Amino acid sequence: MIFLTALPLFWIMISASRGGHWGAWMPSSISAFEGTCVSIPCRFDFPDELRPAVVHGVWYFNSPYPKNYPPVVFKSRTQVVHESFQGRSRLLGDLGLRNCTLLLSSLSPELGGKYYFRGDLGGYNQYTFSEHSVLDIINTPNIVVPPEVVAGTEVEVSCMVPDNCPELRPELSWLGHEGLGEPAVLGRLREDEGTWVQVSLLHFVPTREANGHRLGCQASFPNTTLQFEGYASLAPWKPTVNGTVVAVEGETVSILCSTQSNPDPILTIFKEKQILATVIYESELQLELPAVSPEDDGEYWCVAENQYGQRATAFNLSVEFAPVLLLESHCAAARDTVQCLCVVKSNPEPSVAFELPSRNVTVNESEREFVYSERSGLVLTSILTLRGQAQAPPRVICTARNLYGAKSLELPFQGAHRLMWAKIGPVGAVVTFAILIAIVCYITQTRRKKNVTESPSFSAGDNPPVLFSSDFRISGAPEKYESERRLGSERRLLGLRGESPELDLSYSHSDLGKRPTKDSYTLTEELAEYAEIRVK
């Protein structure tokens, strides 16, 4: 028989624990059906010496710190919220009475996650509480079947659904229970953390013919089209395994899965949808893992199945090992801020510290103003944020430690070229660019002068041939007047282009002795006139 009782009231516990310090109380987890609403009960406290005229508050989604720009669920000062929560969030509590209860409506799967509350008393008196509530959006009632169903012995099957929406109350009914007995509705029960559930019980004496019988439970909400159904099957018995296994990296682990049924079942052990072991028509299955590694850590399933139904049991293998610093660990600078990520894979969870050797400073996770940590599975990500550091970013060494060892790594800076420009600033960048241009121009002019001086085809004479353009090359010995006129025009043109007045005399000996044509002189005169106009 399932034993249900009303546990100590959540609000009584809250009022008795107020001690004049920063603290918050809310259920660690709460669930609600998709499309309905949920009320997350919340109370908070602050030091007695603070006497704010007005108390404000903010609810954040999935992150407790404003500097990470988490989605705003509710904000009492401005009422401005993230688009996902527009028209969906409302404060039920009175912040002046230290009640931060939040109501979320029209629930959808993307709203499932962590919810954090931040108290705002004005000025520097703001505090984000580490306590948070995890919201689970469900669409199936929970049916609890005894691990054993024996013919001739009375059994109790229960259906439980969350009842945390003050605007919509669920109603429960059984499906497929004909011939098994009449259900009894136990009613609405309060759980230990202030959440509520609706419970319905079904008692019956099973017969051998009940093997494989499929039972269903339906949750419906009056005046809506919302209906949710869940099912469970009787027989075979639920498999049993040797519980959660904890092993140290390198050890050998044996896992035993057993069950009883008539007829004998097919037993299979899965991990992440991959079959690891199976037997047919046996009551036991043993899996041996030699020299376990962190990759063996995780959830395993033992499944028993025969023609009357299927039952499954989950168990966990926890592999413990020393910290491993992953390649994603690095530092990056942007404007006046340096952020360093230390990504660690470890079991059990390590302690992480950031060391700045040049300043003889060590910052750890307890200093939440500078370090934020979040764990996902076996991976812990710690983020160190330093402001006003772009001009001289420090060396940062990350150290992760647990009972199996410690690892350290000097975090590399990503985007080193961007860091260089951040150091010299915009004015320094312009000056550097101008210097580079000047150096290029100087080298170009020097090479041009050198070519003129060392040209093998140059010969001193009274009437040297002159190259006016790539299309018109004039050679020979023109008359003195025309030669001087052409030379003056060329110098004016070169002066306009900012080039050296030296002439390009790179022609061959075969060009000597040829007289220029009249059209070539005309072109030179026109270019000279054009240059004079541009100068004016």
Its pTM stands at 0.45
Distances (CA, A) of 245 to 248, 252, 345: 10, 11, 19
pLDDT at residue 449, as a whole number: 63
Alpha-carbon distance 118 to 127, whole Å? 5
Please tell me the least confidently modeled range out of 240-254, 285-299, 310-324.
Answer: 240-254
Per-residue confidence (pLDDT) for residue 473, from 0 to 100: 44
Confidence tier at 154 by pLDDT (50, 70, 90): confident
Structural contact between residues 268 and 281, judged by C-beta atoms closer than 8 angstroms: no
pLDDT band at 122 (very low <50, low <70, confident <90, very high): confident
Q: Which of 26-40, 168-182, 439-453 has the highest mean pLDDT?
A: 26-40
363-379 confidence digits (pLDDT tens)? 988 888 889 999 988 89
d(CA 438, CA 60) in angstroms, rounded, equals 55
240-321 placed in CATH 3.30.530.20: no
Tell me, which fold does domain 326-415 have in CATH?
Answer: Immunoglobulin-like (2.60.40)
With a CB cutoff of 8 Å and minimum separation 6, the contacts of 119 are 22, 24, 44, 46, 55, 56, 57, 100, 126, 127, 129
pLDDT higher than 60, residue 362: yes
pLDDT bracket for residue 404 (50, 70, 90): very high
Report the chain's mean pLDDT, rounded to a whole number.
Answer: 77
Encoded amino acid at 219, one letter = A
Phi, psi of 458 (to 5 degrees): -80, 135
Q: 254 or 485, which is more confident?
A: 254
**Is 319:296 a contact under the CB 8 Å cutoff?**
yes
**Model pLDDT, residue 243:** 66
Which residues on adjacent β-strands are paired with residue 402?
Answer: 405
129-152 average pLDDT score? 86
Mean pLDDT, range 185-200, rounded to an integer: 81
Cα gap 533→536, rounded to integer Å: 5
The CA-CA-CA angle for residues 404, 410, 412, to 5°, reads 130
What is the enclosing helix (H) or strand (E) of 128? strand 126-138
pLDDT band at 189 (very low <50, low <70, confident <90, very high): confident
pLDDT category at 137 given cuts 50, 70, 90 is very high
Residue boundaries of the structural domains of the chain:
23-138, 142-234, 240-321, 326-415
CATH topology of domain 23-138: Immunoglobulin-like (2.60.40)
Higher pLDDT, 463 or 425: 425
> Does residue 237 register a pLDDT over 80?
no
Higher-confidence residue: 12 or 403? 403
Residue 178 is predicted with a pLDDT of: 76
- Cα–Cα distances in angstroms (integers) from residue 192 to residues 4, 14, 92, 97, in the given order: 11, 12, 21, 23
What is the CATH code of the structural domain delimited by 142-234?
A: 2.60.40.10
Asked if domains 240-321 and 326-415 share a fold, the reply is yes
Per-residue burial over 432-467, b = 16 or more CB atoms within 10 Å of its CB, e = otherwise:
eeeeeeeeeeeeeeeeeeeeeeeeeeeeeeeebbbb
Predicted local distance difference test score (pLDDT) of residue 233: 73
Cα–Cα distances (Å) from 49 to 84, 120, 125, 208, 273, in that order, read 37, 15, 11, 70, 57
